[in-house]
């Protein structure tokens, strides 16, 4: 009898310890978890739910339940498809060029030359410019009246490059490339520095030309970083908002109306929450796929490395 009583006392004492440990754990994750619950998981669910309701034309009338049909109608609408297409175009304009320039600058600065640190600092300097800073600088430089770039490009006067349907999206892309060049440069430089010199020396002894060395040694070893830059670039393209808002507001005539700006306009200019919710959910789905592809890749890379 006393033995059994003692055992339960001991059990209680041990489980009290485990309980305290568990309480500590939950207390520590609580702030993060609560924030995620309110500002990530709940709104994600609510966005999906909002997409089932059509916002009424009059702000005083309640929205009506239309079910998944709103998803079908929005996704097949030309406005939505157009914004998706322009987002893809924007990614195509910015990513390959941005990454190639980043690699080129990193290669250029990856030499033992006097004063190379100055060049490195200059090349990485654009990380200090936010989207807004970069956009305002170029907004002024592209101004048809006073803009220096407009002047040099022979576009003085008239409507200006940002108002030209052909050049607006390319111009926004150039601004984005410039703003991101510092980051890409830093990324590629770090990757280049991680390549052992002995590998390139070996290739040199094998008589490989410098282009050949780049193609067959450097580039393959950079490929994980390039892959990462592509993923970040795709995600960044779908999130590019500030440059559009400052430079073109989606114009001229919707020629820079990318998906995120379409969501913004639908929700906060046209007050069509149902439509914006649907587009948000699609944006989430696209980026989810991109991220999952990246995770799978990273997992494999880790697997091979060990």
Distances (CA, A) of 250 to 34, 161, 163, 245, 258: 36, 14, 10, 7, 7
**Rounded (5°) CA angle 60-64-70:** 125
- In sequence order, the 6+-apart residues with CB closer than 8 A to the CB of 287 are 235, 238
Which of 173, 280 has the CB closer to another protein? 280
Strands (E), the chain: 53-54, 64-65
Tell me the closest approach of the beta carbon of residue 153 to another protein, in angstroms. Answer: 13
Within 233-252, which residues bind another protein (CB under 8 A)?
235, 238-239, 241-242, 245-246
Out of 66, 75, 89, 132, which residue is the one contacting another protein (CB under 8 A)? 132
Tell me the closest approach of the beta carbon of residue 55 to another protein, in angstroms. Answer: 11
| R_g of the chain computed on alpha carbons | 27
Which of 85, 80, 82, 58 shows the shortest CA–CA distance to 70?
A: 80
- How many Cβ atoms from other residues are within 10 Å of residue 148's Cβ? 11
Residue 190 binds another protein, judged by CB under 8 A: yes
Tell me the closest approach of the beta carbon of residue 252 to another protein, in angstroms. Answer: 17
Within 9-48, which residues bind another protein (CB under 8 A)?
10-18, 21-26, 28-29, 31-33, 35-36, 38-44, 46-47
- How many Cβ atoms from other residues are within 10 Å of residue 260's Cβ? 20
Within 255-294, which residues bind another protein (CB under 8 A)?
260, 263-264, 267-268, 273, 276-277, 280-281, 283-284, 287-288, 291-292
Tell me the closest approach of the beta carbon of residue 213 to another protein, in angstroms. Answer: 16
- The Cα diameter of the chain in Å comes to 100
Within 144-173, which residues bind another protein (CB under 8 A)?
145-146, 148, 151, 156
Which of 21, 197 has the CB closer to another protein? 21
Which of 42, 85 has the CB closer to another protein? 42
Residue 228 binds another protein, judged by CB under 8 A: yes
């Amino acid at each position: 009898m006393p033995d059994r009583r003692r055992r339960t006392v001991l059990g209680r004492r041990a489980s009290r310890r485990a309980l305290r440990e568990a309480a500590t754990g939950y207390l520590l994750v609580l702030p993060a978890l609560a924030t995620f619950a309110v500002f990530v998981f709940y709104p994600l669910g609510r966005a999906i739910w909002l997409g089932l309701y059509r916002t009424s034309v009059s702000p005083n009338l309640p929205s009506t339940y239309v079910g998944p049909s709103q998803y079908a109608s929005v996704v097949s609408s030309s406005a939505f498809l157009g914004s998706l297409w322009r987002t893809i175009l924007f990614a195509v304009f910015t990513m390959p060029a941005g990454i190639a320039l980043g690699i080129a600058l990193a290669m250029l600065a990856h030499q033992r030359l006097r004063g190379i640190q100055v060049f490195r600092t200059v090349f990485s300097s654009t990380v200090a410019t936010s989207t807004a800073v970069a956009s305002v600088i170029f907004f002024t430089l592209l101004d048809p009246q006073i803009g220096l770039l407009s002047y040099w490009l022979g576009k003085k006067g008239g409507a200006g490059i940002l108002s030209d349907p052909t050049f607006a999206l390319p111009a926004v892309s150039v601004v984005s490339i410039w703003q991101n060049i510092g980051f890409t440069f830093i990324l590629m430089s770090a990757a280049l520095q991680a390549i052992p010199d002995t590998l390139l020396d070996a290739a040199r002894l094998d008589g490989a030309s410098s282009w050949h060395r780049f193609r067959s040694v450097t580039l393959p070893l950079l490929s994980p970083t390039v892959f990462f830059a592509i993923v970040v670039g795709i995600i960044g393209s779908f999130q590019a908002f500030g440059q559009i808002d400052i430079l073109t507001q989606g114009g001229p005539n919707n020629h820079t109306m990318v998906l995120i700006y379409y969501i913004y306009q639908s929700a906060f200019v046209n007050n069509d929450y149902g439509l914006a919710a649907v587009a948000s959910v699609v944006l989430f789905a696209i980026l989810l796929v991109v991220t999952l592809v990246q995770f799978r890749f990273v997992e494999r890379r880790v697997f091979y490395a060990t």
